[in-house]
Structure 1
Amino acid sequence: MKSLANALLILCLLAASCEAQGLGRRAPAARSPRRTAGRRDPNEKVFNVLQYGAKPGGKKDSALSFIRAWRAACNYRGPARLLIPSGTFLIGATIFQGPCLGPVPIKVQIAGTLKAVPDPSMYEEDFWISFENINGLLVTGTGTVDGQGSAVWKYSSGDARLPSPSRVKISDVRYINIRGTSTSEVGVDLQCSKAVPCENLYFSNINLKYSGQRKLPFSSTCTNAKVNYIGNQFPPPCR
C-alpha cells in the first residue's frame, strides 16, 4: 500500500521529465557537500550517495547505492538528510522503504540529475522511484528528475496519479515549484479514495508543458480531492 510520501513525489516522477525546483524550501547554492546539504540543525547528519558507491556520469546504474544510502539515513535515530550531489546519476526502479527511526521529516535533497535506465525490461511495475511507508518526508533541491520519456515507458505515462482508491488517508501534501513535461493531455490527475478523500493538498507554482503529439487541451482532473492553489498553475487547475 503506497504511502502519503509516495503521493508527494508521484506528480513529478511519472512525468516524462521534470525538474525538482524546490519541493519544499529552495536550498542555497553550495561549494561543498556540507553546505550543499543546507543544514541548519547542528545535529542533522548528511548521507551523501557518493559515500555509498553511487557513480556520477550517467553510465552505471546507481540504484543499489541510493538504496544503501537511504537505509543508512532512514535507520539513523537523529535528524537525517539524503543528499544527491551535483552530477548525473543513472538509476533503475528504486524503492525507498520506511518506516524510518529518526524524527520527522526525513529530508531528501536533489542537487544533481537523476536519469531513468532507458530499458523497459528493467521495470517490472508501473513506477520508477517510490517512497513507501514513510511518515514525514521533505524533498527539496534544484536538481532534475528525468524519466527519459518514451525511451523508458512502454505504457502511457506523464500524468500525476495519487495512489489508487483505498483506505490510505492522504492529507497535508504540498507540491511547490514543479516544472517539467507531460506526454498525457491530462497533466495533473488526482485520483483519491471515495472512502477517505484527499484533504489539504496545496499546489504552488506548477508549470508543466504538454509534449504529446495530439493537439488537445492540456488539463487537470481531480477526483475526491480538496486542493488549494497558490501562484501560477499550468495546466489550469481543476475546480
Structure 2
Amino acid sequence: MNCVVGSSCSMMASRGSTVLVLILCSALVSCHAAGGRAGRALFTTFNVLNYGAKPGKQQESTQAFVKAWRAACDFDREARILIPPGVYKLGETIFQGPCKSQTPITILLQGTLQAVSDISAYPDKGWISFDEVNGLILTGGGTIDGKGQDLWKYDDCKTNPDCTHLAASIYMTKVKNAKVKSINLINSMGFHMHITNSYLVRFHRLKITSEDGPNTDGMHISKSNTVKVSRSVFRTGDDCISIGQGSNNVTINKITCGPGHGISVGSLGKVANELDVQGLIVQNCTLVGTTNGLRIKTFPASGPSKASGMLFKDIIMENVKNPIIIDQNYGSKSTKPSRVKISDVIYQNIRGTTISPVAVNLKCSAQEPCKNIRFHNINLRHTSNVRVSSTCTNAVVQRTGLQSPQAC
C-alpha cells in the first residue's frame, strides 16, 4: 500500500519506530542476561555450600571445596565458584587442572578461608595449591588466613640450613593466564604466595599482612615468565617480594612495602644448576621501615648463573636500614666467591631516608664483579642528619645526576 503524506503516514511511521525500539530493547535485555555477550549462555555458579561446605563450624570443608572445583573444572563452559561469607576451615587443598572450559574459572571469595592448625595436614609445599590451571580469576574481597601463629614455632630455618619450609598459603605451579585481585592474605605459615613454573600471572590490589612470622615472604616468584604485581600492600616478617631463579619479565609497580625485608632478588646460587634471572622492573614503590630496600643477594661458592636487565625506578624510602644493597656473600661463611654474574642494573630516581650511615652498599663477587651498574639521581639522607656514604667492592659503577651519597 502506498503511503500518502499526511496524518495516516505519520501514524504508521510512529508505530514502526515503536516496534523497532521494542525489538532493540528486547535484544539489549537478552544480551545483558547472557553476561553482555550475545549468543552466550549465562555462566554456571558452583556454590561450595551445595557441596557440603560448613561455614562457622570446626569441621573441615576441604573435600567440599575440592568437589566444587572438580565440578567447575570439568564443566565445558564458563564457570564460577562461589564462596559465600563465613569462615571455612581447610587443610591441604589442591585445585588440580587442566580444566575443560576455554574461559577462565572465576573463584569469588567473599568469606574467610582458615587453615587447620596441624602441621601434619600440610605434607607438601602449599596449603591452597593451583596446579596446571590455564585460566583463573581469584577475587571477591575475602580473606585467606594461614593461622601461622600456631605453627611458626616449627620454623627452624635460621639454625637449620636443611630445614623444611612451612606451607605457602597459595602455591601456584604450572599456572597460565591467571589474575588474582582484591584479596587479603594474613598470617601465612610460610610464604603467603609462591608462584613457580608459571606464565602470565597478574596480581592486583592485594593486602598481605604477617608482621611477626619468620620467613613469611609476601610473594616469592621463581621459574616463571611475565608476572605482574601492582597496587598492593605488603606488611611481612620477611621479604615483601622475592625474585628467585628462573624469573623473567617480572614487573612490580605501585607497591607499598613495610615492615619487612624489602624487595629482593634472591637468594640466588643456593642450589646447583640454577636458572638465570632476567628482565625485572620495580617502579613507583614505597618502602617504609624495612630492613632492606632494594636488595640483590647471592650465596658464595655458588654455581654459575646470571642476574641481569634490572631497573629500579622512582622509589621512595622512609626510614629504611639498607636502601640499596648487593650482597654476594649472603647466608654463608664460605670463603669461595659467588659465581652469579650480576650486570646491567639501573637505579634511577631513588629518594628518601635511611637509618644507616651506609646508604649504598655493593658487595660483589671477587670472581664475577658486578658490571654496568648505573645510578641516576640518588637522593638518600639520614634520619638524624648524619652524613651518609656508599661502599662498592668488585663493582663497575656509572653515576649521573644527583648523587647522595657521593659515589664510591
* TM norm. shorter chain > 0.5: yes
Uncovered stretches (5+) of structure 1, i.e. residues with no partner: 1-38
Structure having the larger proportion of residues in strand? 2
Within 5 Å, give how 1:1-239 maps onto structure 2.
40=35, 42-152=41-151, 154-155=154-155, 156=165, 157-158=190-191, 160-163=193-196, 168=197, 170-182=198-210, 183-184=213-214, 187-188=217-218, 190-193=220-223, 198-210=224-236, 212=237, 219-223=240-244, 224-235=247-258, 236-238=262-264, 239=312
Give 1:205's aligned amino acid: R
CA contact 1:114–1:146 (8 Å) conserved in 2: yes
1:156-196 CA-partner distances (Å, limit 9, x unpaired): 51354332xxxx4x322111111122324673454423xxx
Q: Secondary structure at the match of 1:76?
A: coil
CA contact 2:234–2:240 (8 Å) conserved in 1: no
Larger relative contact order (C-alpha < 8 A, sep ≥ 6)? Answer: 1
1:47-92 CA-partner distances (Å, limit 9, x unpaired): 0000011001041100001111111111111100111111111011
Give 2:110's aligned amino acid: A
1:27-66 CA-partner distances (Å, limit 9, x unpaired): xxxxxxxxxxxx9365200000000110010411000011
Change (3 A) 1:233 1:40: farther
CA contact 1:158–1:184 (8 Å) conserved in 2: no
Change (3 A) 1:184 1:98: same
State the partner residue of 2:307: none
CA contact 1:58–1:115 (8 Å) conserved in 2: no
Distance 1:89 1:56 in 2: 5
Count of matched residue positions in the alignment of Structure 1 and Structure 2: 187
1:115-173 CA-partner distances (Å, limit 9, x unpaired): 0011112222221111111111111111110000131454351354332xxxx4x3221
Q: Secondary structure at the match of 2:194?
A: coil
Q: Secondary structure at the match of 1:40?
A: coil
Report runs of 4+ in structure 1 exceeding 6 Å deviation: none
Q: Secondary structure at the match of 2:71?
A: helix
Q: Secondary structure at the match of 2:88?
A: strand
TM-score by length of structure 1 reads 0.70
Distance 1:232 1:96 in 2: 28
Give 1:111's aligned amino acid: Q
Instruction: Note the C-alpha offset of 1:110.
Output: 0.2
CA contact 2:207–2:234 (8 Å) conserved in 1: yes
Distance 2:53 2:240 in 1: 38
Distance 1:190 1:207 in 2: 15
Q: Secondary structure at the match of 2:63?
A: helix
Uncovered stretches (5+) of structure 2, i.e. residues with no partner: 1-33, 156-164, 166-189, 265-311, 313-408
CA contact 2:191–2:219 (8 Å) conserved in 1: no
Instruction: Note the C-alpha offset of 1:102.
Output: 1.4
Distance 1:200 1:125 in 2: 26
Distance 1:180 1:219 in 2: 9
Change (3 A) 1:159 1:48: closer
Distance 1:209 1:95 in 2: 26
TM-score by length of structure 2 reads 0.42
Distance 1:115 1:159 in 2: 13
Give 1:221's aligned amino acid: S
Give 1 or 2 for the bigger CA radius of gyration: 2
